[in-house]
């Protein structure tokens, strides 16, 4: 083996020997004693050396590790994995050797042949809602008859094969061929499919048993890296290892699990060359962390921690440059060889070097298996069928191209008529081939071996059993017991919360701020009768704040679901452990936060000053928080998306808030709704806090609670509570001015202080336990899986689109039927391109010189580009390449004028002159992130770009025709009505390019990694299309990753960068890459003839892990080269030629191609379509309004004229104030996500920010009016509004107010969205604003009781003040009040006086009426005679109602203006 290492190529860079030594160290930790046998050493050396190269020069920067194991003989992993059963048992651990066989594997999905899924609309949602009862009855009726299964279609046809341990299989196919489906099925991920038939065996174990008992031994790694972004790399791996650490039988005697985890983690990090990332956050698209390549290696390490022996990798090289992609696959090769695992991989744009690393290749064509066998025979097999390869075409591209009817080429004498060309034909041909017969023989032998010998199966079972920790059931699929899982997850969750500083700071700041606001509003409550009712308000608001905080748990359950799904599939833990871990991890942090909140509230408001009182208050508030947290978490686990959860919340939340016992006392509740009170956790928390407060206090009756009393200038009645006066506070006793709190509670709220411990606390703790139980049940049994779109979703055709689609299909069919040769096809496409591209006048040349770019970093600045020079001429295709992190995208952004932070220096010129204001319009930039309006169809997205970016004088018909040409050129004919969000990665990439082409860029087309995420054939199609555009005079500059040699040669010129933004080369590529090959060869880097020059030049300059070729830095070589001098001379010559020509006359240059009104029209149309196609969003809002109003109305149904009904009218109107926060919570994420689309479009000057802001609002207005109308209908008629002097006209006025409140919610939500950089920050504003506006509007704290500081400004600027003033004055004006028998204040007049004689002047001064004025005993006084008397002390007047409603409208106008300004100046697009 040592000899093999020494004779390896010096220029390579994957250290297999180091990998073996590393894993030797790892496996020694897994074994009780060292293994010394060396049976397979020579086999390992020969197999690995054939596919892997070495470096004998250690590179300290690359993290090569050297483990001194001279004290122990070298351990051979293959020997360990294949040793006899006796030797494995003696070692105390069994090897897991899992080969995979599959026979007649077939996968079906719902939807018959030709099935199309159509996007539901708002109209469909409304119709479906009303039809739901009838459909349910129909379904119930049909259940009595035999069930007819829904039609299905096959997406993976019968496939058979075998992959032995230690082998790697490459799965190839065009998009839609079924590669991902195959990998998921092999990995036992079957939830997404209607049915999976056939037999899949893992070392002879069937799929059902594998899923039940050996979860985590067969794993699937999807294309995206899913991690918890705010954990470090070390913490991520530590958690994975903590759940997969074997029991004592799998470790050396005396080694603790902690030492084991530390040792293995260190080995993993060194093995993957990422020890330097140990303390770095993993990160994601929004959290800065490790690089993309490093994050992929974290995924590898996490997968290795599972110790799974069957691994499926789905397009794991996406976004990596050619050198890094090769490193990654070589790493997989090493792991497969060393660990003896079974590896399936699907890769896009696999190079020949990558292809040669695999043992088997599987080719799929529309779900049909058309080849499975050795990679070395695949090309010859397809050539034997009659397919012609292209010169310099890599084998993976050739194999994929053979399955593409648009790209496959037939050899001379062959055609589709005399050779297999369809998927079915290719499958039949393969089944008749000798390769298939050999495959069948191999499968039979291996299956027979599995059934008879079962050596691997028994070893696998024994190894899994030996791995388990003590106390873990033999039948459990987990290595760690449930309590250990909970412990590991609790530690992780606590770390997560502690490290998320932003969330910690904001949550504590929010809690303290709200406590200060509520405490300030109810500051220092008195111990008089006036302080009794307000104490109930303090308690209610405290619990309401806790409910809002707990509400934030619901979306977190949905956002965390992908992590839970991935890690449970890895077998790290069972889902129920997450529930308990979240609960335990939250306890300390939530306890501290609620404690700070409670301390502030309790002592600022002057609640009962005693230690017992405070701690009891804190106990009930905190347990109430835990109960509501559990409730919202349960809802979050039940629901598949936020909109459905939002609807459930509106069903429960208003009822829970109403039926606490505060707004509606228990004895006043409707009997048929009072059960809500008993199942409401808040009612027990509120009751406990109220009982705790009032059992410790008594109240003195004075002021407004004494009847009769002296008014201004009167001195008739005693100043205290006399014998002929009565206290109107609940619980007052005749002749006593002191009311015990217990009596007040019992009389006013039917609460018994004896229930505080024996009922309330017991029930609230029971709720906490119950909701923990429901979470466990839901997450284990019913929690929905969030999966990606499995197919395209379409919009229904109208007459125009139907006609256009027919024409496109006819043209496509005509081309297919002609069976052109490749040259004929080229001529035809060129003709179509010439038709699409009208002849252009002389185009300008784009140049840049001495380009430098510095960005601010902590402690100073950092240079990302250094003295970059170059040019792009019309009619040329220029590639921008470099190592990962070299600054390719940065350079493109700087040239396209997309950077808005940092300092750019140097000259960027067009025809030698500075850039004009119309530069952005003259260019098109297809960015790497495919950001589009998701609900638009492909045709709509292309038309939107053409309408707003082509000149206004171009007729609409011409723009539409050009869009049809673009659709045809990009081969999107079958997807014209497909919605963007449902497109595949490859189709969306083509759309991104099409959107930019639709603008007809006059100067330059920029593209950032246009082939990233595409398969090799699609990448070739795309670059070939760009080549044709360039041939027509278009100047194109694009970054590119992993180009094949054929694709690379399609470019005219190359700008090559290395790390630090340094130029390595700029110049021609030449035919067969001759020019660039000669440049590198002349400077010491000779590219072999059989190596892709695009890969080799990256290796030569030291990209990825490879050491550079040659002693000098390649940037210095470039600066000293004649090519550099020639490039500078060319730039100077371009500028001189430009200056020699007359300056073109300066015409009027507009920033935008079209007028403001036209922009507004087109953008509003798109927004309207988007909302119509978003039924979850729009219908959820309508549902919320309807259900919320109905819940309130049912509690206050058909109100009468009593004082209690008067209060209920006030509360019924007050609940309208809850709607704006609900609308804001739902609307802000939509606005911010739409702003991301606008930021991309605004960079191209498609439309102005003013248009964006106004269009967003106008799109919401119709739905706001509809929602407000529905709310109004369900409010005024069930409650019995309109009984006052205004009558039905008054109810119409209230509709206007309800509409304006809807406008206020929409505009305020959009304003907050425009001011916020992210959704996470935006939603933090909502609870604060909602509570402040609700508290200071004059209901919870009446106007006379407001502290002057708040009353003088906050009360007056509160929009809810105007809403309540307008609606209450309309509803209560002229409303006669008739007290019910229990609402009269009863007192006895002095002897020989009638009730009127004793209290008449009091009634005249304060209003109300005497029910029995002539009586001499038991005088009955009603506080109000008419509704206006209730309004007067509240500073509300009927005469001001129109003033108030237009002030409310003025807030709406102000919000619009502020949103427009914020959208103009605050885009938060830092790049």
pLDDT of 430-442, one tens digit each?
988 888 888 888 8
User: How many angstroms separate the Cα of 890 from the Cα of each of 8, 504, 1037, 1366?
Assistant: 37, 34, 13, 56
- Model pLDDT, residue 249: 65
pLDDT, greater one: 820 or 98: 98
Is the model more confident about 59 or about 1292?
A: 1292
- pLDDT for 168 equals 93
Least confident of 39-53, 940-954, 1003-1017: 39-53
| The pLDDT of residue 286 | 59
Q: Is the pLDDT of residue 91 over 80?
A: no
Is the pLDDT at 255 greater than 70? The verdict is: no
pLDDT of 27 higher than 80: no
925-939, 950-964, 1339-1353 — most confident range: 950-964
Which residue's entry shows tokens 């990798």?
A: 313
Whether 1449 shows a pLDDT value over 90: the answer reads yes
Mean pLDDT of 451-466: 76
pLDDT of amino acid 256: 75
Alpha helices in 570-610 (DSSP H): 575-604
* Contact predicate 899/1059, CB 8 Å: no
At 1307, give phi and psi (nearest 5°).
-70, -40
Task: State the residue for tokens 């990448």.
Answer: 1019
pLDDT in tens, 814-851: 766 654 444 444 444 444 444 444 444 457 888 999 89
Q: Percent helix, strand and coil across the chain, each rounded to 5?
A: 55, 10, 35
Cβ burial of 1384 (10 Å; 0-12, 13-18, 19+) is: buried
What number is the average pLDDT over the span 187-205?
87
Write out pLDDT tens, residues 324-379.
777 778 878 877 877 778 999 998 778 888 898 999 999 998 899 999 999 999 99
What is the structure's pLDDT at 1012? 74
Mean of the pLDDT values across residues 188-195?
Answer: 85
Buried b or exposed e, range 1010-1027, using 16+ CB within 10 angstroms: bbbbbbbbbbbbbbebbe
Query: Residue written as tokens 């007359």?
Result: 1142
Per-residue model confidence as pLDDT tens digits over 1305-1357: 999 999 998 888 877 778 778 888 888 888 888 877 888 888 888 888 888 89
Instruction: Give the whole-number percent of the chain exceeding pLDDT 90.
Output: 16
DSSP state of 170: E
Q: Which of 611, 547, 546, 556 is nearest to 585 (CA)?
A: 556
Residue 1169: predicted pLDDT: 92
Provide DSSP, 400-438.
HHHT-TTT--BPTT--TTTS--SHHHHHHHHHTSHHHHH
72 pLDDT tier (thresholds 50, 70, 90): very low
pLDDT for position 1104: 59
846-857/903-910 β-pairing: antiparallel
**For residues 78 and 1, what is the distance between their CA atoms, to the nearest angstrom?**
14
pLDDT of residue 70: 36
94 pLDDT band, cuts 50/70/90, is low
More confident residue, 985 or 751: 751
Tell me what the mean pLDDT of segment 1055-1072 comes to: 87
Identify the pLDDT of residue 1243. Answer: 77
Q: Between 459 and 583, name the one with better pLDDT.
A: 583
Q: How far is CA 254 from CA 29, 251, 258, 260, 479, in A?
A: 11, 8, 11, 11, 20
Please give the pLDDT value at position 113: 64
**What are the pLDDT digits (tens) for 377-386?**
999 998 888 8
Mean pLDDT, to the nearest integer, of 274-293? 74
Assign 852 to helix, strand or coil. Answer: strand
pLDDT in the model for residue 52 = 33
Model pLDDT, residue 928: 73
The more confident residue out of 32 and 798 is 798
Q: pLDDT class for 28, splitting at 50, 70, 90?
A: very low
Buried b (16+ CB within 10 A) or exposed e, 19-57: bbbbbbbbbbbbbeeebeeeebeeebbebbbebbbbbee
- Measured in whole angstroms, the distance separating CA 654 from the mean position of its chain's CA atoms is 28
pLDDT class for 785, splitting at 50, 70, 90? low
pLDDT digits (tens, 9 = 90+) for 1404-1443: 888 899 999 899 888 999 988 998 888 888 888 888 999 9
pLDDT at 53: 33
Residues 6+ apart with CB under 8 A from 1140: none
10 band by pLDDT with thresholds 50, 70 and 90: very low
Q: How far apart are CA 327 and CA 322, in angstroms?
A: 9
Report CA-CA distances (Å) from 1443 to 1207, 1333, 1359: 24, 19, 12
What is the arithmetic mean of pLDDT over 711-734?
Answer: 84
Which range, of 61-70, 627-636, 877-886, averages the lowest pLDDT?
Answer: 61-70
CA-closest candidate to residue 307, choices 93, 67, 471: 93
Residues 6 or more apart in contact with residue 1135 via CB below 8 angstroms: 847, 909, 912
pLDDT computed for residue 1469 by the predictor: 62
In the DSSP assignment, the letter for residue 784 is P
CA atoms of 1049 and 407, how far apart (whole Å): 18
What pLDDT score was predicted for residue 375? 92
Q: Which of 1431, 1161, 1191 is nearest to 650 (CA)?
A: 1191
Matching residue, tokens 């007050």:
1214
pLDDT band at 254 (very low <50, low <70, confident <90, very high): low
Q: Per-residue confidence at 784, pLDDT binned at 50, 70, 90? A: low
Q: What is the mean pLDDT of the chain?
A: 81
Q: How many whole angstroms separate alpha carbon 1161 and alpha carbon 1154? A: 11
Is residue 521 within 8 A of residue 647, CB to CB? The reply is no
Checking if the pLDDT of 23 tops 60, the result is no
Q: Measured in Å, how far apart are the chain's first and last C-alpha atoms?
A: 50
Torsional class of 3: left (φ above 0), alpha (ψ -120 to 50), beta (otherwise): alpha
| Cα distance between residue 605 and residue 602, in whole Å | 6
pLDDT at position 786 over 60? no
pLDDT at 1262: 93
| 1397-1422 residues labelled b (16+ CB within 10 A) or e (exposed) | ebbebbbeebbbbbbbbeebeebbbb
Please write the tens of the pLDDT for every residue from 1112-1153.
888 888 888 898 999 998 888 888 887 777 766 655 567 788
Residue closest to 848 by CA, chosen among 872, 874, 866, 865: 872
**Inter-axis angle of helices 1016-1031 and 822-836, nearest 10:** 50
């Amino acid at each position: 083996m040592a000899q093999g290492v020494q004779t390896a190529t010096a220029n390579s860079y994957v250290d297999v020997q180091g990998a073996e030594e590393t894993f030797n160290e790892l496996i020694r930790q897994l074994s009780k004693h060292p293994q010394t046998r060396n049976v397979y050493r020579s086999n390992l050396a020969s197999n690995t050396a054939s596919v892997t190269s070495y470096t004998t020069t250690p590179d300290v920067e690359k993290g090569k590790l050297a483990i001194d194991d001279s004290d122990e003989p070298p351990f051979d992993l293959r020997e360990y994995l294949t040793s006899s059963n006796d030797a494995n048992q003696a070692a105390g651990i069994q090897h897991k050797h899992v080969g995979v066989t599959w026979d007649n594997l077939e996968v079906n999905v719902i939807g018959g042949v030709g099935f199309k899924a159509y996007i539901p609309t708002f109209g469909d949602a409304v119709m479906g809602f009303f039809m739901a009862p009838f459909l349910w009855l129909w379904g119930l009726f049909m259940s009595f008859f035999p069930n007819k299964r829904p039609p299905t279609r096959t997406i993976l046809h019968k496939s058979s094969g075998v992959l032995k341990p230690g082998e790697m299989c490459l799965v190839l196919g065009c998009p839609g061929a079924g590669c991902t489906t195959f990998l998921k099925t092999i990995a036992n991920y079957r939830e997404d499919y209607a049915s999976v038939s056939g037999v899949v065996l893992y070392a002879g174990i069937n799929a059902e048993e594998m899923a039940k008992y050996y979860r985590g031994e067969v794993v699937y790694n999807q294309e995206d890296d899913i991690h918890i972004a705010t954990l470090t790399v070390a913490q991520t791996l530590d958690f994975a290892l903590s759940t997969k650490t074997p029991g004592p039988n799998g470790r050396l005697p005396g080694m603790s699990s902690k030492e084991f985890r530390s040792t293995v983690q260190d080995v993993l990090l060194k093995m993957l060359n990422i020890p330097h990332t140990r303390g770095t956050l993993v990160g994601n698209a929004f959290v800065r962390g490790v690089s993309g390549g490093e994050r992929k290696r974290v995924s590898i390490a996490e997968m290795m921690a599972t110790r799974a022996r069957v691994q499926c990798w789905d397009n794991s090289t996406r976004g990596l440059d050619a050198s890094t992609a090769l490193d990654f696959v070589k790493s997989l090769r090493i792991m497969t060889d060393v660990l003896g695992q079974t590896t399936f991989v699907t890769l896009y744009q696999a190079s020949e070097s990558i292809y040669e690393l695999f043992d088997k290749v599987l080719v799929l064509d529309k779900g049909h298996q058309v080849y499975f066998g050795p990679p070395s025979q695949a090309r010859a097999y397809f050539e034997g069928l009659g397919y012609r390869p292209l010169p310099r075409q890599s084998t993976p591209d050739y194999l994929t191209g053979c399955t593409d009817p648009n790209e496959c080429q037939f050899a001379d004498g062959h055609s589709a008529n005399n050779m297999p060309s369809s998927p079915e034909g290719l499958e039949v041909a393969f089944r008749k081939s000798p390769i298939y017969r050999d495959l069948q023989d191999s499968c039979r032998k291996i299956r027979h071996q599995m059934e008879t010998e079962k050596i691997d199966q028994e070893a696998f079972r024994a190894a899994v059993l030996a791995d388990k920790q003590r106390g873990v059931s033999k039948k459990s699929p987990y290595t760690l017991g449930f309590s250990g899982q909970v412990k590991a997850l609790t530690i992780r969750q606590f770390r997560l919360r502690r490290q998320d500083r932003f969330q910690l700071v904001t949550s504590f700041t929010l809690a303290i701020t709200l406590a200060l606001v509520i405490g300030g509003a109810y500051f220092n409550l008195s111990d008089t009768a006036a302080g009794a009712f307000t104490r109930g308000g303090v308690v209610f608001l405290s619990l309401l704040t806790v409910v809002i905080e707990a509400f934030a748990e619901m979306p977190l359950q949905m956002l965390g679901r992908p992590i839970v799904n991935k890690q449970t599939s890895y077998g790290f833990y069972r889902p129920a452990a997450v529930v308990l871990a979240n609960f335990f991890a939250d306890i300390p942090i939530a306890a501290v936060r609620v404690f700070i909140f409670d301390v502030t509230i309790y002592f600022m408001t002057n609640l009962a000053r005693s230690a017992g009182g405070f701690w009891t208050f804190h106990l009930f508030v905190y347990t109430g928080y835990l109960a509501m947290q559990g409730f919202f978490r349960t809802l979050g686990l039940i629901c598949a998306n936020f909109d459905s959860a939002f609807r459930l919340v509106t069903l429960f939340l208003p009822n829970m808030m109403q039926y606490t016992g505060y707004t509606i006392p228990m004895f006043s509740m409707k009997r048929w709704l009072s059960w809500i009170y008993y199942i409401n956790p808040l009612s027990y928390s509120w009751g406990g806090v109220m009982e705790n407060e009032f059992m410790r206090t008594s109240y003195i009756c004075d002021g407004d609670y004494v009847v009769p009393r002296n008014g201004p200038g009167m001195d008739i009645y005693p100043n205290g509570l006399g014998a002929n006066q009565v206290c109107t506070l609940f619980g007052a006793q005749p002749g006593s001015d002191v009311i015990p709190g217990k009596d007040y509670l019992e009389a006013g709220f039917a609460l018994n202080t004896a229930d505080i411990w024996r009922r309330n606390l017991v029930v609230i703790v029971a709720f906490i336990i119950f909701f923990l139980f429901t979470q466990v049940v839901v997450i284990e049994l019913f929690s929905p899986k969030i999966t990606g779109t499995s197919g395209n979703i379409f919009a229904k055709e109208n007459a125009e689109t139907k006609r256009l689609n027919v024409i496109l299909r006819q043209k496509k069919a005509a081309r297919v039927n002609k069976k052109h040769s490749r040259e004929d096809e080229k001529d035809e496409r060129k003709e179509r391109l010439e038709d699409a591209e009208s002849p252009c006048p002389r185009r300008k040349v784009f140049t840049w010189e001495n380009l430098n770019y510095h960005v601010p970093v902590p402690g100073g600045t950092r240079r990302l580009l250094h003295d970059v020079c170059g040019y792009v001429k019309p009619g040329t295709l220029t590639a921008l390449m470099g190592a990962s992190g070299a600054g390719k995208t940065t350079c493109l952004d700087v040239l396209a004028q997309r950077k808005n932070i940092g300092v750019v220096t140097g000259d960027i010129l067009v025809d030698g002159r500075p850039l004009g204001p119309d530069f952005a319009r003259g260019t098109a930039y297809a960015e790497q992130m495919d950001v589009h309006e998701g609900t638009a169809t492909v045709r709509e997205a292309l038309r939107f770009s053409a309408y707003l970016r082509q000149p206004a004088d171009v007729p609409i018909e011409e723009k539409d025709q050009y869009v049809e040409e673009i659709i045809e050129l990009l081969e999107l004919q079958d997807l014209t009505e497909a919605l963007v969000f449902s497109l595949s990665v490859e189709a969306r990439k083509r759309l991104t390019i099409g959107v930019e082409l639709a603008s007809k860029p006059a100067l330059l087309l920029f593209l950032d990694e246009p082939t990233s995420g595409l398969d090799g054939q699609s990448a070739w199609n795309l670059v070939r299309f760009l080549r044709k555009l360039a041939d027509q005079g278009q100047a194109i500059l694009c970054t590119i990753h992993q180009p094949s040699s054929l694709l690379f040669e399609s470019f005219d010129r190359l700008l090559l960068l290395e790390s630090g933004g340094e130029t390595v080369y700029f110049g021609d590529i030449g035919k067969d890459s001759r020019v660039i090959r000669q440049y590198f060869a002349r400077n010491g880097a000779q590219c072999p003839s059989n190596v892709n020059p695009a890969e080799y030049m990256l290796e030569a300059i030291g990209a990825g892990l490879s050491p550079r070729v040659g002693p000098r830095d390649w940037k210095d070589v470039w600066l000293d080269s004649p090519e550099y001098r020639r490039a500078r001379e060319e730039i100077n010559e371009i500028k001189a030629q430009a200056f020699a020509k007359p300056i073109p006359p300066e015409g009027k240059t507009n920033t935008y191609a079209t007028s403001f009104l036209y922009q507004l029209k087109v953008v509003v149309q798109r927004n309207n379509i988007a909302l119509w196609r978003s039924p979850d969003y729009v219908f959820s809002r309508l549902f919320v309004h309807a259900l919320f109003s109905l819940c309130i109305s049912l509690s206050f149904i058909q109100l009468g004229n009593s004082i209690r009904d008067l209060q209920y009218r006030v509360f019924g109107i007050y609940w309208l104030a809850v709607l704006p926060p609900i609308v804001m919570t739902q609307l802000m994420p939509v606005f911010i996500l739409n702003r991301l689309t606008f930021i991309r479009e605004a960079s191209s000057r498609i439309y102005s920010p003013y248009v964006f802001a106004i269009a967003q609002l106008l799109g919401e207005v119709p739905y706001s009016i509809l929602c407000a109308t529905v709310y109004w209908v369900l409010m005024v008629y069930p409650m019995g509004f309109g009984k006052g002097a205004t009558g039905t006209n008054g109810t119409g006025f209230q509709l206007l107010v309800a509409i304006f409140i809807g406008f206020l919610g929409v505009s305020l939500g959009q304003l907050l969205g425009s001011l916020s950089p992210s959704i996470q920050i935006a939603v933090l504003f909502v609870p604060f604003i909602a509570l402040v506006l609700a508290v200071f509007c004059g209901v919870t704290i009446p106007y006379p009781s407001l502290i002057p500081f708040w009353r003088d400004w906050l009360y007056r600027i509160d929009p809810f003040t105007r809403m309540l003033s307008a609606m209450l004055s309309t509803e209560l004006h002229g409303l006669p009040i008739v007290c019910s028998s229990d609402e009269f204040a009863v007192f006895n007049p002095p002897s020989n006086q009638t009730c009127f004689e004793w209290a008449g002047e009091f009634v005249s001064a304060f209003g109300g009426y005497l029910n029995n004025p002539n009586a001499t005993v038991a005088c009955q006084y009603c506080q109000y005679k008419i509704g206006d008397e209730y309004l007067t002390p509240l500073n509300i007047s009927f005469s001001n109602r129109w003033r108030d409603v237009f002030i409310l409208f003025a807030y709406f106008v102000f919000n619009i203006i502020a949103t427009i300004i914020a959208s103009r100046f605050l885009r938060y697009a830092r790049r």
